Amino acid sequence: MSSTPWPREGWRTLAVVGLLGFSSGLPLSLSGATLQARLTAEGLPLSEIGWITLMGLPYTLKFLWAPWLDRWCFPILGRRRGWMFVTQLLVMGLIWWLGQLSGTTAPHWLGGIALMLALASATQDVVVDAYRTDILRPEERGLGASASMLGYRLALLCAGALALILAARLGWRLSYEIMVAAMGIGIMATLWAREPGGGVGLGQEGGYLMPWQDYLARPAAFSFLGLIVLYKLGDALAFALSSAFLLRGLGFGLAEVGMVNKGVGLAATILGSLAGGAVMLRWGLYQSLWRFGWIQGLSTLSFVGLAAWGHHFGAMVLAVFIENFTSGLGTTAFAAMLMALCNPRYSAAQFALLSALAALGRVFIGPLAGWLASWGGWENYFLLATLLALPGLWLVYRLRASIALLSVVATNRG
């Protein structure tokens, strides 16, 4: 870790990364949860609304086309900024088009445009992740992950709650047009950003599988893949049925759970992320992964206590705050590790693949979670979530030397 003062350029980079996080988060709700709310308000049958869940597929499968973003670039702005600029323009145009259509008169057109928006948005995510990986120095990655998460969460709030409020007062068309204007934040960030070194596409060098071959050729490659899957597995189980636990298990009302989860939970996640980024400047990557992993895992015991206590609003608020705050800590260190694992030559492909792998735990733990809660009860369910943190922590300890070397390797790689 560098002991020299942080240069002004570093703060500019963090600001750009935060604004690009906002640009990434804004289209997600507009092609997902907000679109579902819109179609429901317009009276479409549930059988048709259910298809909207497929709009999440491009975000899951984006690693399939990510290698092309490493290999080719536009003749303007460089490899990363060029792709960001083009995808942001596409996203703006598709959001505008989505606002002009009616779900009642053109539902299939609306669904098709929403799918194209998800594709363009997922592609923007790939290149924004790659840009963040390439531009941040090792000591900046913790705060960079925090800044990105802050922008992303604020965008979800803007495209979710704010868009619905605007639609109720001004209509869907004007609401979507305001969201188009908000996407201008991403355009400004791209133009303000500086291109990372080596901003030239790889062209035909190597091949489509070269990013994966490059990663797998490294020492402990498969052990890191295991760590990526396991590090937040207990956290994923704790969150999988948290709303059902509060509603059905403890008998809280929808308004109470919504206010605490969306208000207190969001604020706690942002605070945890910012605190994690600041602390990482002192602790470094390994110590942050190790200590945040323990804190993140043990925090689930707050839900065990809440399950034993029962219906108590103050205890519920405290438990939700603790769980989300510590999750923000762990997510910051985890995102910094993913960035450190990427080779700048292939950062678009490698980050997309590694982040997709990280989502596997959340995807497959969901169906199992309901059975576990029914079989063992809520206290045992959250105890199991606490214990599931241990395999990831064991891998962190086992890989401590490799993790300590990641920053050095990342600095000299490329």
Residue 222 exposed, middle or buried by CB count within 10 Å (0-12, 13-18, 19+):
exposed
SS (HEC) of 296-316: HHHCCHHHHHHHHHCCCHHHH
> What band does 207 get if pLDDT is binned at 50, 70 and 90?
low
Q: Quick one: pLDDT band at residue 258, thresholds 50, 70, 90?
A: confident
- Within 10 A of 138 (CB to CB), how many other CB atoms are there? 19
Report pLDDT digits (tens) over 64-87: 888 888 888 777 888 889 999 999
Confidence of residue 123 (pLDDT cuts 50, 70, 90): very high
Confidence band for 51, pLDDT divided at 50, 70 and 90: low
Task: State which amino acid sits at residue 299.
Answer: S
193 DSSP assignment? S
Collapsing DSSP to helix, strand or coil, 292 comes out as helix
Please report, as a single letter, which amino acid is at residue 368. Answer: L
What is the full DSSP assignment across 298-367?
HTTHHHHHHHHH-S-HHHHHHHHHHHHHHHHHHHHHHHHHHHHHS-GGGHHHHHHHHHHHHHHHHHHHHH
| pLDDT level of residue 46 (50, 70, 90 thresholds) | low
Q: pTM for the complete prediction?
A: 0.81
Q: What is the pLDDT of residue 312?
A: 87
Q: Is the pLDDT of residue 50 over 80?
A: no
**393 phi and psi angles, rounded to 5 deg:** -65, -35
Q: Average pLDDT, stretch 364-377?
A: 75
- Under CATH, which number does the domain 8-205 receive? 1.20.1250.20
Query: Token pair of 186, please?
Result: 């991403």
Structure confidence at residue 348 (pLDDT) = 87
More confident residue, 223 or 244: 223
List for the chain the helix, strand, coil content (%; round to 5). Answer: 85, 0, 15
- Measured in whole angstroms, the distance separating CA 307 from the mean position of its chain's CA atoms is 29
- Residue pLDDT, tens place only, 376-396: 788 888 899 899 999 999 999
Question: Which two tokens mark 362?
Answer: 């959340």
User: What CATH superfamily classification does 211-412 receive?
Assistant: MFS general substrate transporter like domains (1.20.1250.20)
* Residue 146 confidence (pLDDT) above 50: yes
Percent of residues, the chain, with pLDDT higher than 90:
28
**CATH 1.20.1250.20 segments of the chain:** 8-205, 211-412
Taking CA atoms, 159 is separated from 37, 193, 286, 328, in Å, by 12, 24, 35, 21
